[in-house]
A and B are shown apart, each in its own frame.
Chain A
């Protein structure tokens, strides 16, 4: 069985002035894999995600990507325009706060259509049907397609953002604490939704979170970060059930039992 390597990261490093953001990050991501990045706040996990998704330019290192079309590309040395195009069409970024990922001045349907327009889809009824299809898929009421995001609850806004990202069929999705600001019952439902969709469309995903329950539920493999570096990595249940590094042991033994 040969699964394609979709991303290869080598010695990725980012400094904020003299301050380490993340340092010497190395890993490979294969098609269909869901990678979790965990660590306490300040561990560099969001910095790493932003370097990977192109939101910030790292100080050093290499990111090779290999998408369905076009062979292996050295992402960081692409011309800015090509980078933007990749990010718009092949990437999807789901922000912790849905309002960062949504356009609040246009309707729910408009938000979903926006990304499809970016990849040159212009048929109005197709756009509208796709909008409804994805609202249904993320368990929203498709009749609310013409309402504005601010009329939705926080959980619904997050669903809308996920619809918007997934509708354009991205090859890699980046999620930063996708259930961070939501209460527990909404969180469980959204995780359920993400999990079932991910299996359906075989998307590759990188999720940053500090919630180990989310990680166990959603991810295949895990990077544990502390002070900007990866202290442990591996199969998710292996890292959580048989942690080798002292920090991972501290992390997994600090979970309160309900």
Chain B
């Protein structure tokens, strides 16, 4: 069953205050993604992999085309109302960015709880579940009640993953989820991604390590073929 569909998607950036420079990034993307697939986005740095993910999340606006998400009904992210996108993000699509973005002074345990609260899934068992996840990700118990903003890059990335992986999403967009992790933590995260796939979650991931791609991904999409040729 298709869950994501891109139709004639184009993306360019017009930098009005920098002499009107036009950056054409991606052109004529037509593709379908089915439930339970794990797609790797590949292509050299700067080709538009993160831009692609951000368009799927509604964070970047396609210059033209449709991005249809099939929930119970079809929602075109490119022209949906704000509350429809907010609702999709709350219950349906999770996104792990490259960098953790959280409020100052909010402790880890609350950051992770918040995902469940937003999904109305927070109950008396939730804290145990959250603590288990944090332990599995090797985030020390002494840090759970601290804000992660001053932590190392790898620790922040694991908090960022915990925040999204705790949720019950049907689609996960992961932007280099293992980039700043050591080998042990890498394989832990890979196992977590695998268990999400077993639950039929659809995953679109940017990951440079070919070995990891071979281990988890069912298909690669090379963005080279969407480079505008008149650039």
Are A238 and B83 touching (Cβ within 8 A)? no
Are A192 and B83 touching (Cβ within 8 A)? no
Are A241 and B17 touching (Cβ within 8 A)? no
CB under 8 Å from chain B, chain A span 219-258: 220-221, 234-235, 237-238, 241-242, 244-246, 249-250, 253
Are B103 and A238 touching (Cβ within 8 A)? no
Choice from B17, B61, B83, B105 contacting A242 with Cβ under 8 Å: B61
CB under 8 Å from chain A, chain B span 33-64: 54, 58-61
Are A250 and B17 touching (Cβ within 8 A)? yes
B212 at the interface (CB under 8 A from A): no
Interface size of B by Cβ–Cβ distance < 8 Å?
20
Are A217 and B103 touching (Cβ within 8 A)? yes
If A220-B82, A220-B83 touch, whether A238 touches B59 (CB-CB below 8 Å) is yes
B125 at the interface (CB under 8 A from A): no
If A188-B104, A242-B59 touch, whether A234 touches B17 (CB-CB below 8 Å) is no
Interface of A is mostly: mixed
Are B85 and A249 touching (Cβ within 8 A)? no
The CA of A3 and the CA of B83, in the complex, are separated in Å by 8
Interface size of A by Cβ–Cβ distance < 8 Å?
24
If A188-B104, A246-B17, A249-B17 touch, whether A241 touches B60 (CB-CB below 8 Å) is yes
The CA of A242 and the CA of B78, in the complex, are separated in Å by 13
Say how far B39's CB is from chain A's closest CB, in angstroms.
Answer: 22
A-B contact pairs, 12 of them (CB 8 A): A30-B81, A32-B83, A188-B105, A192-B103, A235-B58, A235-B86, A238-B61, A241-B54, A242-B54, A244-B14, A245-B16, A250-B17
With A234-B61, A238-B60, A241-B60 given, name 5 new contacts (CB 8 A). A192-B105, A242-B61, A245-B16, A249-B16, A253-B17
- Give the 5 A-B CB pairs with smallest separation, nearest first: A246-B16, A221-B82, A242-B60, A235-B82, A30-B83
Interface residues of A (CB under 8 A from B): 1, 3, 28, 30, 32-33, 188, 192, 199, 217, 220-221, 234-235, 237-238, 241-242, 244-246, 249-250, 253
